[in-house]
Amino acid sequence: RKEVEQDPGPFNVPEGATVAFNCTYSNSASQSFFWYRQDCRKEPKLLMSVYSSGNEDGRFTAQLNRASQYISLLIRDSKLSDSATYLCVVLARGGADGLTFGKGTHLIIQP
Amino acid sequence: EAGVAQSPRYKIIEKRQSVAFWCNPISGHATLYWYQQILGQGPKLLIQFQNNGVVDDSQLPKDRFSAERLKGVDSTLKIQPAKLEDSAVYLCASSLERIPGANVLTFGAGSRLTVL
């Protein structure tokens, strides 16, 4: 089983719709979780951290389910500018290793 | 604040040749990372430095890859000799603290390597 697994997509979603995608992780000792966004041919940038209690930032909501070992990202009222690849990122307990990135989920918002 | 600087942005070489990439992290950031991102994949950690010491290089192919951060600031990643499968974007990132979860990782724009 891969350490961090994501559906690569692409997810084709009409503008204004709500879209959600999950990410599963294999290491139960993982302690920190993040979503990074990567635009085409650009570097990844932090979108949001994922807290145990869940967190919301504007149209974006991230949630963590430790029992089932997955995190989710929900985007409401999607905009054309949300088109990007969303990378799920996990940090193992202890933090001695760098972050482990998933392959990313490709999202295309269509007008 | 200035971001993470990387050069060159693009490099095309033939297999068995050598190449070097340079990274200048954000001023004051003690931790520096080199990631390899192959097309269609997520970034994979190659090496992590804390100041000028190596924290983790377990995924660095040491027979051909080397990296150094001699003065705890700039870093160089070298590949010698290059193979076709080394074609990728090499991303440098830095963070303020050793534990990446404690701080945001800031990435440079990357160095895109094509090996022919």
Give DSSP secondary structure letters for A42-103: S--EEEEEE-TT-EEETTEEEEEETTTTEEEEEE-S--GGG-EEEEEEEEETT--S-PEE--
Angle (nearest 5°) at CA B42 between B38 and B47: 80
Residues of B in contact with A48 (CB under 8 A): none
Q: How many CB atoms lie within 10 A of CB B32?
A: 27
> Which is higher by pLDDT, A95 or B26?
B26
With 60 as the cut, is the pLDDT of residue A69 above it? yes
CA B99 to chain centre: 18
Spatial separation of the C-alpha atoms in residues B80 and B83, rounded to whole Å: 9
Residues of A in contact with B109 (CB under 8 A): 42-43
Q: Which residue of B has its CA nearest to A98?
A: B45
- Interface membership of A8 toward B (CB under 8 Å): yes
Is the sign of the CA dihedral A59, A66, A11, A45 positive or negative? positive
What is the model's pLDDT at position A53?
87
- Interface membership of A31 toward B (CB under 8 Å): yes
In tens, the pLDDT along A5-51 reads 999 999 999 999 999 999 999 988 888 899 999 999 999 999 999 98
Confidence of residue A92 (pLDDT cuts 50, 70, 90): confident
Residues of A in contact with B35 (CB under 8 A): 98, 101
